[in-house]
């Protein structure tokens, strides 16, 4: 992520993009096949006497269309596969934390529902593409103001986080989430990139949360369709996944360096 590319190189279709999109569609098919009762229940709401176009979930289709386009742009399996795996693991932990602690509840009452977990790597990869496009447009930006904006934004977020999770403060996964967020915020050095990822993740998160809460696919204990904090939480989750991926790249780089460095006898 630290190697910036011109905008024209950030928006291009590659053969790898076709593979990524095919994998995405395969995941959707498998979700529909394995969890057929959920899909069957959704289909049952269609009224044959009403106009079909009025019953289409345009917000859901719009979310999927935007993410489908984003994930194929400038795709690279060498980087995308480890990124997707990190996001998949992170998404599972987030969903387990929220559903087990009671911060949010799915209409299936699963803790967590496995059918929602694959959405996390797709959303995270979409945010990654948005980040690449934005950095390709802005290039390198420097200035002390970045540090001030960074600490203001993430400081305010952490206060909102504490307020949101306060009823579950004794839950082990809540403590874990608070520690992870604090570590990411305090130790992150690339503050501009973190801000861009946070804003991109929050922007995409709004539409995902808007769909989920208005369709009552999931409900937060605070109510809201969606609650403002949960939109920002998508931004923070995107930053945490990006941060973990950056650490992964640093470890891989160090391992390669050690292999290339001859041992001194």
Which pLDDT value is given to residue 218? 95
Q: Let me know: does 242 contact 194? Beta carbons within 8 Å.
A: yes
**Domain presence at residue 1:** no
pLDDT for position 53 = 76
Q: What is the pLDDT of residue 1?
A: 47
Provide the pLDDT for residue 4. Answer: 40
Name the 3-class secondary structure at 210: helix
Which pLDDT tens digit goes with each residue over 224-259?
A: 999 999 999 999 999 999 999 999 999 998 888 887
- The number of folded domains in the chain is 1
Integer CA distances (angstroms), 13 to 50, 69, 131, in order: 39, 9, 17
pLDDT of residue 138: 75
Question: How many angstroms separate the CA atoms of 149 and 56, rounded?
Answer: 41
Residue 2 is assigned to a structural domain of this protein = no
Classify residue 265: in a domain, yes or no: no
Q: Model's pTM, two decimal places?
A: 0.84
Residue 20 inside a domain? The answer is yes
Specify the pLDDT at position 30.
Answer: 61
Q: Which two tokens stand for residue 94?
A: 């987030």
* Residue 228: count of CB within 10 angstroms of its CB: 14
Domain membership of residue 126 (yes or no) is yes
Its sign, for the CA torsion 252, 253, 257, 260, is positive
Beta-bridge partners for 218 = 106
Distance CA 142, CA 192 (A): 8
Residue pLDDT, tens place only, 178-202? 999 999 999 999 999 999 999 999 9
Residue 77 Cα distances to 5, 69, 86, angstroms: 17, 16, 14
* Residue of 104, 87, 54 lying closest to 216 (CA atoms): 104
Regions of the chain short of the pLDDT cut 50: 1-8, 265
Q: 75: domain range?
A: 7-260
């Amino acid at each position: 992520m630290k190697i910036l590319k011109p905008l024209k190189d950030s928006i291009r279709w590659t053969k790898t993009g076709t593979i990524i999109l095919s994998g995405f569609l395969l995941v959707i098919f498998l979700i529909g096949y394995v969890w057929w009762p959920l899909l069957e229940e959704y289909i049952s709401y269609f009224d044959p006497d009403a106009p079909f176009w009025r019953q289409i979930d345009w917000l859901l289709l719009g979310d999927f269309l935007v993410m489908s386009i984003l994930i194929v742009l400038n795709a690279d399996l060498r980087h995308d596969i480890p990124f997707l795996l990190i996001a998949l693991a992170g998404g599972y932990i987030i969903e387990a934390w929220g559903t087990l602690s009671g911060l949010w509840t799915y209409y299936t009452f699963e803790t967590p529902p496995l059918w929602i977990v694959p959405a996390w790597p797709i959303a995270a990869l979409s945010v990654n593409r948005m980040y690449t496009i934005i950095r390709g447009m802005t290039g390198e930006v420097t200035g002390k103001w970045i540090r001030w904006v960074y600490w203001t934004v993430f400081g305010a977020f952490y206060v909102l986080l504490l307020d949101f999770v306060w009823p579950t403060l004794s839950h082990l996964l809540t403590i874990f989430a608070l520690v992870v967020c604090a570590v990411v915020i305090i130790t992150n050095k690339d503050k501009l990139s973190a801000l861009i990822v946070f804003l991109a993740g929050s922007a995409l998160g709004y539409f995902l949360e808007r769909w989920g809460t208005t369709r009552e696919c999931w409900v937060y204990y605070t109510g809201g369709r969606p609650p403002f904090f949960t939109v920002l939480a998508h931004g923070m989750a995107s930053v945490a996944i990006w941060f973990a991926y950056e650490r992964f790249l640093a470890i891989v780089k160090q391992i390669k360096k050690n292999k290339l460095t001859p041992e001194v006898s």
